[in-house]
A and B are shown apart, each in its own frame.
Chain A
């Protein structure tokens, strides 16, 4: 552990990535302050408190050895599965969609927690798989089952966005683990063929409508197409430098729907313009580059898969949310990580970041040992 060097605890913190994370989180908080019409309530203050607390949690996680996450993966998986079933049961009793668990102080969305956990579980599985088995059937079905059970539960809530992200994360780990490429190509084609079936049997009417509207937003400019239209108006009307902080009309006059969660990015771009948007995208790109660099640096198979998988998990939030608000993807409820208001997604992302920092810390430790 290099006790002999004893650097100041502050100095060992991965400051570069912490700056990026804080930049995103603070910018998000500022935008929430503006979205509330220039007020700390109801979102900005909560966001700051949550952000600080969860960032502290992430830093604390970074002091654990990566090995321990591998040990915790299966118990955590089991625990979250139970939570998902409880949520499902409450939903049945409540007679409607339910994806939240009210824990008094916070509202927890168990499906969110499943995202990093599935990455850990699958990374652990592939790390334990003998090298020669990777091209065999036994390398595919256990991860598939591990992924599909929670996916089905989440789809039943129903929460298409989270379910999709879960599958993306799992597929990423499988892809990185080295499953034959033809499986992914073939799978991609199969999914393309499946889309009509999913559309017809697994989507709620409002979700089906959203997909249709996505394909042709002009069809319903005042109904479901409204979200995309207003979001594009907010982004487009900002111009190069925006309308100025606290001066966004689309968000302040509530033309922008869900301006504190899914559509917070357009609310920010309206006020900060293209420059603000590019700055935020740059922050995220740097964050992903750091995450992938951590994955490439480490030699351990579990750590490698985990680091890349978790980076991709955060990336999927980012990509789906931004493609959605710009009218390039259907409207599915996915927040912008660290930037949007919302505890569960921030908890998930901070978990990912904490584990990534733990691997990063381990990498540096290894380097010093060499």
Chain B
């Protein structure tokens, strides 16, 4: 079967040409119409969209980060300020030949290899105008070296910004927290607020910096710039200045805060001082702590590891978040409860070394003989409180504990506070489905057992007893008027305070911690909290640090007209009179006579080997050396293990 070839003639070819040329002509018209239609679509239907895009091309809104509000103490002395900070960033969009530029910056700024690696990695993930930080906290010389060569460094953006500085360092670490670069979650939570990814901008990460962020952040300014595609500035169109954040005035006395932190020395613990008029927190020190300055610069891996692995927990604010059995420091509170229950303070209880309850004998610290309420407080006699507490029952005492501030969560701008436990029968039923027993009462009345408090609550308790006022602790300066009196007879307070006077100034447990001042006396109450059950012969007074008893002390001064109240907790300090009361003595002395207090501190610090910064540096060196030793050890260990298995 052969295919029939159509006859091709000159005429048929002409016809074919004409027909095909017309087809091509039609195609030309069709494509021209398609192009015209497409153009009309772009410039009419989508005009608005593209107009906006052209504008957003042309204008670059540059955010000017606001300066962060200062944190100052009650006298206006700065606790957190902003210092000039020179920094250099890379703008990925404008970067040409990143290899050459990174190499040049490495030379100019003497960047370490790991930083160069980080910059490369971040640059790969970055897009658009989101800058990649190269270096912060540059010296002016290095900054100037980059600025000078700017014409040959497209995409490099040197900036003069501000960085947070805390003059008191670790002494205020737990209190103010720290600032840092917003992470991805924070950026997304903020609704992708561009301010948060502006280079050099930092947000509060912990402490007051975090909780008072809204007040201290301020409002960013903006610059509207007309720029070319390569990021070259054509002109500045308008500028909205930034509004710096508000200054945050604290009730804290910065000098006292630093003094207390220093006075804690190498101990792990907390010191809280309250103003008995209005509840101002004058000092809330928790040591050991971290230096917030090293956080705002971006903390190193090593530094972080050292802090988080320290058994003295420098990352925990012990003033608010650590809970302790208060020990005997709650006896004045218990005494208030006894008075409220109608117990005659002069009624005597004979202390023969303990108290028999059924078949169990509850020990006292000694054989005190006949005790009144006054002497029982002064000498911290357990037997008296066992007997009297047993008489009125713990439910009556728990009410007083709460009225004096224990178990309470205070409305403070803090990241977290643990408010512990004030137990009673209803609580025990709820929690353990068990009835409250008399032995529970006996344990709780001397501040052991289920009762758990934080140091701030202890300070509030002391302040309420000292002032007879319903004080609320305040961190932010503002409330000036005195707190309203508590609805309790003033003579009850008088009686208890007198007992507390005796503790320090009479034949009491803290006789060695009298204030070294003329005419100013301190009242207080020591406490020793068991960390583990009393083992035969060993009462938590020795052995491993972490099994030793906590030492606590609550106090107020002056005794004739209380002005300040304080609580001191020394973790594993073995006893209130031994560890906590001397600290309280010096801290209160500072409030009345600074030179005298400083003299005492200087002597102590000489013995400890320097102030906080010096000791922290020393600890860090020691830690790094230990790490290095560990690293050096481990390969040889695996080597010998491998050798052993082949042998």
Contact = CB atoms under 8 A, between A and B. Distances in A.
Interface of A: 131-132, 134-135, 172, 175-178, 222, 230, 232-240, 249-250, 253-255, 269-270, 273-274, 277-278, 281, 284-285, 288-289, 292, 295-296, 299, 301, 304-305, 308, 312, 315, 319, 322-323, 326, 328
B41 to A, nearest CB: 9
A319 B32 CA distance: 7
B94 to A, nearest CB: 12
B49 A175 contact: no
Interface string B1-37: 0000110111001101110110011001101101110
Contacts of B21: 176, 292, 295-296, 304, 308
A233 B54 contact: yes
A140 to B, nearest CB: 14
Contact of A255 (B8, B20, B31, B229): B229
Q: Which one of B40, B46, B57 has the highest number of Cβ atoms from chain A below 10 Å of its Cβ?
A: B57
B32 A176 contact: no
A250 B39 contact: no
A253 B36 contact: no
Given A135-B5, A176-B17, A274-B43, A285 B28 contact: yes
Given A249-B57, A249-B58, A269-B39, A131 B13 contact: yes
A240 B46 CA distance: 11
A305 B20 CA distance: 11
A233 B58 CA distance: 12
Interface string B42-58: 11101101110110011
A222 B47 contact: no
Bin chain B's interface residue count: 35 or more
Nearest to B21: A308
11 contacts: A135-B5, A175-B24, A176-B17, A222-B128, A233-B54, A235-B43, A236-B42, A249-B58, A255-B54, A255-B229, A277-B36
A299 B174 CA distance: 98
A288 B22 CA distance: 12
B85 interface: no
Contacts of A326: 35, 38-39, 42
Given A304-B21, A328-B38, 18 more contacts: A131-B8, A177-B17, A230-B57, A233-B53, A235-B42, A236-B42, A236-B43, A236-B51, A237-B47, A237-B53, A237-B54, A239-B47, A249-B58, A277-B43, A281-B32, A295-B21, A315-B28, A326-B35
B39 A134 contact: no
Contacts, number: 144
Contacts of A236: 42-43, 46-47, 49-51, 53-54
B8 A254 contact: no
A284 B58 CA distance: 32
Closest 5 CB pairs of A and B: A236-B50, A237-B54, A236-B42, A254-B229, A237-B50
Contacts of B227: 253
B43 A222 contact: no
A235 B39 contact: yes
A134 B8 contact: yes
B226 interface: yes
A233 B32 CA distance: 21
Contacts of A301: 13, 17
Contacts of B40: 274, 278
A226 B421 CA distance: 64
B602 to A, nearest CB: 62
Contacts of A285: 28-29, 32
Contacts of B53: 233, 236-237
B127 interface: yes
A255 B44 contact: no
B45 to A, nearest CB: 9
B93 interface: yes
A278 B24 contact: no
Q: Residue among A234, A236, A281, A301 with the most chain B CB within 10 A?
A: A236
Contact of A134 (B13, B46, B234): B13
B50 A281 contact: no
Contact of B35 (A232, A273, A319): A319
A186 to B, nearest CB: 15
B31 to A, nearest CB: 5
A278 B57 CA distance: 26
B50 A253 contact: no
A240 B28 CA distance: 24
B38 A269 contact: no
Nearest to A234: B54
Given A134-B13, A273-B43, A274-B40, A250 B54 contact: yes
B11 to A, nearest CB: 10
Nearest to B227: A253
Contact of B54 (A177, A249, A269): A249
Contacts of B54: 233-234, 236-237, 249-250, 255, 270
A251 B124 CA distance: 29
A177 B14 CA distance: 9
Contacts of B18: 296
Contact of A289 (B25, B36, B127): B25
